[in-house]
A and B are shown apart, each in its own frame.
Chain A
């Protein structure tokens, strides 16, 4: 047993990283519309942001309400650097601009982390919130550097093209983001495998015991936060290149809340959780906001449902299926899952109807005549209200029944699996 060695090459892991890289490369070839490209570019930058946030929340047990400070300040420094490159006062490749943002994030991580990481738990959360507000206020107070409410705009097509890359076309920006995203993913994963990364987990689980095995928990939290600040800064610089503008929104509490939402939805317990969370979150923000004004409400409801029913996030829901799939019993869950999905969709349709009608009649400038799911109706007449309310109620009841069914099957399979173990 003691001689048991890990295989020298972890094949599964290489396969996983390899397919991730492949996904980054082929994604724009599959989703060719400009709209999809914009969305994927934003996803890439946000994945870095959310993963860096999870270095605090998931790995270090630090609930931060001010993580946008590091990405935002990183973005401000990047935008100034980019403008200096444009003026010719700085010779620096645009490709490496994320390092400028990262360095800024790192420096501010040292500065603010020294204060925030002195305490863990609620105190940490409160101080991070305070620093977030403080920085946001400062950004508006010093317009010379931060550009006030209008922010600072820039032009990313500057300097000499490197290998023909000007970063003018969106596709080039996408690949720049994809490259950095992939590199940061690997770097952040590698960090989880270091003494610091492992001790961050230990400090999260039981800070007291960590002190009694020789570790200064404050220092572990501090280093973890500084490194998280670095990666957040990289993500900030990428969003600066992508949008060519940085405003106070980049350091706002809204953005800090957004990354918390995305990370939590994806799941803090697994490394890849925030990646899924970012994809879902950006989809909500970018795609859904084009369809409906109520997108923030849907996002909020989704978040609420996750917190209540799947606190481990999407990642843990997926990982729960693994032992069942391995045992070859997933097929027995398929029908209950599909039933639950159908019930959920019915309830969701009812919800959409109600929410959209509320929005329609609350905005006086809009006509009450509207159409949903290809059906036209008047939001001021009672029939659609009754119809959608019934749909919602029926969907919820069916969802409840279906969930019970899933739970039953799940319990049975779980018992069988436990019984089959030696």
Chain B
């Protein structure tokens, strides 16, 4: 059996005395669409930040395609084939849509820090950027500056930048946050398309999206994975119902 796309071994993360991630062990197989759910403050985003190199774990190790990437910088992890999006839109605001996507595709083209190639002459990069732009439906907006796009368009661009580099492991942090119902349906379709043949890990609050897309679901509560399995198992899991859905009910009642 080939190595898992992502494997976490006893990962801990604490900020000062506050333990955010508490001994998480998790293996996500290649080609799997994996959703991480859990109540607010469970540590989902922190988990993403650990996997993508934004934070370094306090202890434990993280493997990407069987290779230890613990403590590497975000750009090093990205070069090893992992790309992520952000919950709060994180794009290049003053660059055009096209340039945003091109930035995502540039490193993968192998031209790195070159200052002797004309970027407009790099056919591979241009093709890739055009292709991604078509896919995320932003081709008509190609020359608009990213900061002037609508919210839903910025979210699509966020995904576009993430997938442009051709990484085989994609992390999406709440890709449908703040979207309307139709926009969400559109986004789900987009995510399904662009992650075809890749490994997808996503944090998502919309249970419709989660059960629609995910092959497997992990439930994170207070920094611990309390359950991990296919959607029907998770739906039936009593512990999950109690901890997660109970918390949700609590939230709903208090709201």
- Chain A residues within 8 Å of B, Cβ to Cβ: 1-2, 6, 190-191, 193-199, 201-202, 204-206, 208-217, 219-220, 223, 227
Contact = CB atoms under 8 A, between A and B. Distances in A.
B113 A212 contact: no
Nearest to A216: B75
A202 B104 CA distance: 10
29 contacts: A2-B139, A193-B120, A194-B116, A195-B111, A195-B112, A195-B115, A196-B113, A197-B119, A201-B94, A205-B93, A206-B92, A209-B91, A209-B92, A211-B73, A211-B78, A212-B90, A213-B78, A213-B83, A213-B103, A213-B104, A213-B107, A213-B165, A214-B78, A214-B79, A214-B106, A214-B108, A215-B106, A215-B107, A227-B115
Contact of B73 (A204, A205, A206, A216): A216
B114 interface: yes
Contacts of A201: 92, 94-95, 99
Contacts of B212: none
B17 interface: no
Contacts of B131: 2
Given A2-B130, A196-B113, A215 B102 contact: no
Given A199-B103, A206-B90, A212 B115 contact: no
Given A194-B117, A215-B75, 15 more contacts: A2-B131, A193-B119, A193-B120, A194-B119, A197-B115, A198-B103, A199-B103, A206-B90, A209-B86, A209-B90, A211-B78, A212-B78, A213-B106, A214-B165, A220-B113
B107 A194 contact: no
Given A2-B130, A199-B106, A209-B90, A193 B139 contact: no
Top-8 shortest CB links A-B:
A214-B107, A196-B115, A205-B92, A211-B74, A214-B78, A194-B115, A195-B111, A202-B103
Nearest to A219: B113
Contact of B95 (A196, A202, A217): A202
Nearest to B108: A214
Nearest to B79: A214
B202 to A, nearest CB: 16
Contact of A198 (B74, B75, B94, B102): B102
A212 B120 contact: no
B216 interface: no
B118 interface: yes
Given A2-B139, A195-B117, A219-B113, A212 B84 contact: yes
A190 B52 CA distance: 34
Interface in B113-142: 113-120, 122, 130-131, 134, 139-140
Nearest to A197: B115
B161 interface: yes
Contacts of A190: 118
Interface string B56-99: 00000000000000000111001100011010001111110001
